[in-house]
Amino acid sequence: MGKKGKKEKKGKGAEKTAAKMEKKVSRRAKKEEEDLEALIAEFQSLDAKKTQVIESSCPPPSPRLNGSLSAHPEKDELILFGGEYFNGQKTYLYNELYVYNIRKNNWSKVEIPNPPPRRCAHQAAVVPTAGGQLWVFGGEFASPNGEQFYHYKDLWVLHLATKTWEQIKAPGGPSGRSGHRMVACKRQLIVFGGFHESARDYIYYNDVYAFNLDSFTWSKLAPSGIAPAPRSGCQMATTPEGNVIIYGGYSKQRIKKDVDKGTLHTDMFLLKTEGAGKEEDKWAWSRLNPSGVKPTPRSGFSVAVGPNSRSLLFGGVHDEEEEESIEGDFFNDVYFYDMGKNRWFPGQLKGPKSEKRKRRRGRQAEAEGAGDEEMEKRPPQGPVEIVKEVVAEDGTVMTIKQVISGPAEEKEKSESEEEEEDGASGQQVEPCPRSNAMLAVKHGVLYVYGGMFEVGDRQFTLSDLYSIDLHKMEEWKVLVEMDPKAQEWLEESESDEEEDDTEGAEGGEEEEESSEEESEDEGGEEQHPSVEHEEKPADYLSRTEQYWIKLARSNMGPDAKEKKVVKVAHAMAKTFYEESV
C-alpha cells in the first residue's frame, strides 16, 4: 500500500475512534443533561414572564468571564452577553444583556423577553443585516457545584434594531459543545472545534460546520487536506479574501485511568474556500508557517480582529501541571498576526507622544529609520511595579492595575534627557494579567473586559474595562476600575453542598445579593493574613512574607527577578498593613 493509502486508512481509523468516544460521552452525559434540563427549563419559565423590553441605566456588570463582548455594527456600542462567575462554592451563569455606550462611557441593562438560557463559553458573531444581528451558538450550563455540565447546540439571533431574540431551529447543526469558535465569513457562520464534557468523560472536536445566513440551513463541511487536531479555545479569524485562520488552542487526553494530559497547541492552519460563499463550495485545510515572533504557549487567551487585516491575541495562562496541583502564569500581553504578510509580532506600548519626541532627540538617526512594526518587534522591557492595591470586602488584597517602568533602551539617553522626561513621562498602566477575558474592537480601539486570574487556590474574577488605540499603541486607558466590593471568596464546606441548587445557579442580581449575605454570615473567615494592630510592621512582614511574594509573583509574571519580586511583595504588604491600621 502506498503512502497515500496508509494516510487515508489512518484517517479513517481516527474518525472511527472519535465516533466511538462521542457515543460513550453522549451516553454518560445524557443522565447529567436530563437533570440539568429541568433546571434550565425552570429558569426559562421565569424569563418567559417578561413581556416587554426594558432598558435602564445601571452600574458596570458584575465580575464574570467566558461571556461574549461584541461591537455593534452601526452604533458606538459594545454588547455583553452571558458569562460565568465562581465564588469558591457556587457557579453562577448569566443570560443578561448589557450595552456599553462608548461615547458616554456608561452601561445599560436591556431586558428582552424570551432570551437564550443562561450560559458561558458560547460564541457570538455580529453581522450588519437589517440594522445589525447578534448570532449566538452553543456554550454550556453548569450545576451550582460545578460538577455537572449541559452543552447547548442551539442557535439564536438578537435583532438589534427591534431588540428581539429569536431561536433558529434548523437541523443538521453541530452537536452540543462549548469552547468552540465561530466567525462570520461572507454570508455564512463558520463553527470549528470545541469540546463536550461529562462528569467522567470528555471529547474534543475538529469538525467544521457552516450556517447559511440566507437559507438558514446548516451544512457539515468536509475540507480536503490534513485538519488541525481536535481542540477548544483557539484563535479563529476571517481573512479579507473570505478564508479562515486557526491558531493554537487547548486539548487534553486520558493517558491512564484518572490521569489526563493537557496540550497547548501552537500550530496554525488556513481553511480556504473556492467559490462565492455557497454551500457547495469546496474547502481545503493547509498548514501555515508564519514568520515573526509567535505568542508563547498558552490557553485561555482572548481574540479579536483589529485594523489593517490583523487579528490579535490578548492574555491567557500557561499552567505548570504538577502531580498534586496546577500553578498558572497569567499574561496581559498583546500579539498581532498580519494576515497579508503571514507574520506574528508582539504589540508594545510606544508611550505618549511627548515621550516619543524626546526619545528621538537622543537617537534621531535610528528612530527615523524604524517603522511601527520595528517598535512592535521589541519585547517589553524593564521591571514591573505595583501602582495600587485594593482590599476586597472580605479583606483580601488585589492588585488591579499594573505599572511598568520605561523600556530599558532609555538608558542610552543622555543625562539631560532623563532629567527632562522624569516629570513628563509618568508610568504606563496596563490591565493586570488574566485569562478568559472578553474582547471587542470598534473604530480601531480594542476593549478588554473582565476575565480572571488566580492566586494560590483563590480565583479573582474581574469586572474592569480597559481600552487601547490599536493604530497608535501608545497607552492603555482605564474606563471602568475594578470594584473590590464585588469580590468574594467562600471556602468549601459540607453544609454548602446541601444547599438548594436553584439558588446557586440563578443568574443576575438576586443571587449576588444572597451571596453577599452568605459571606456576611460566614463570620468573616479571611483568605489573607490578618493584621493585629498591636504588632509592628516588621513583625507583620516577616510573618506573612510568603503570601505576599506569591501574590507579587502572580502579578509580575514568570520572568521577574526574585529580588524585585521580594521588594514589590514587601511594598504591597507594608501598604496593606498601614491602610488596615
pLDDT (0 to 100) of residue 184: 97
Dist. CA 242–CA 272, nearest whole Å: 8
Average pLDDT, integer, range 250-267: 89
> Residue 420: how many CB atoms within 10 A of its CB?
15
In order of 318, 393, 458, the CA distances from 265 in angstroms are 12, 38, 27
What is the pLDDT confidence band of residue 456, given thresholds at 50, 70 and 90?
Answer: confident
Average pLDDT, integer, range 93-115: 97
pLDDT (0 to 100) of residue 308: 93
Reference 551, options 528, 535, 531, 530; nearest CA is: 528
- For the chain, domain boundaries: 26-349+431-486, 537-580
What is the pLDDT confidence band of residue 26, given thresholds at 50, 70 and 90?
Answer: low
Query: Does 366 or 479 have the greater pLDDT score?
Result: 479
Q: Are 100 and 110 in contact (CB under 8 A)?
A: no
SS3 category, 220:
strand
pTM exceeds 0.85 for this model: no
Query: Does 491 or 231 have the greater pLDDT score?
Result: 231
What is the pLDDT confidence band of residue 507, given thresholds at 50, 70 and 90?
Answer: low
In tens, the pLDDT along 407-423 reads 434 433 443 344 334 43
Beta bridge partners of 125: 135
DSSP letter string, 36-100: HHHHHHHHHHHHTT--S-EEEEESPPPS-BS-EEEE-SSSSEEEEE--EEE-SS-EEEB--EEEE
Query: How much of the chain exceeds pLDDT 90, in percent?
Result: 51
* Predicted confidence (pLDDT) at residue 141 exceeds the cutoff of 50: yes
Beta bridge partners of 480: 465
In tens, the pLDDT along 57-96 reads 999 999 999 999 999 999 999 999 999 999 988 999 999 9
Of 72-86, 381-395, 413-427, 432-446, the poorest mean pLDDT is in: 413-427
Q: Which CATH number fits domain 26-349+431-486: 3.40.630.10, 3.40.50.720, 2.120.10.80, 3.40.1190.20?
A: 2.120.10.80
pLDDT (0 to 100) of residue 483: 77
Dist. CA 141–CA 504, nearest whole Å: 12
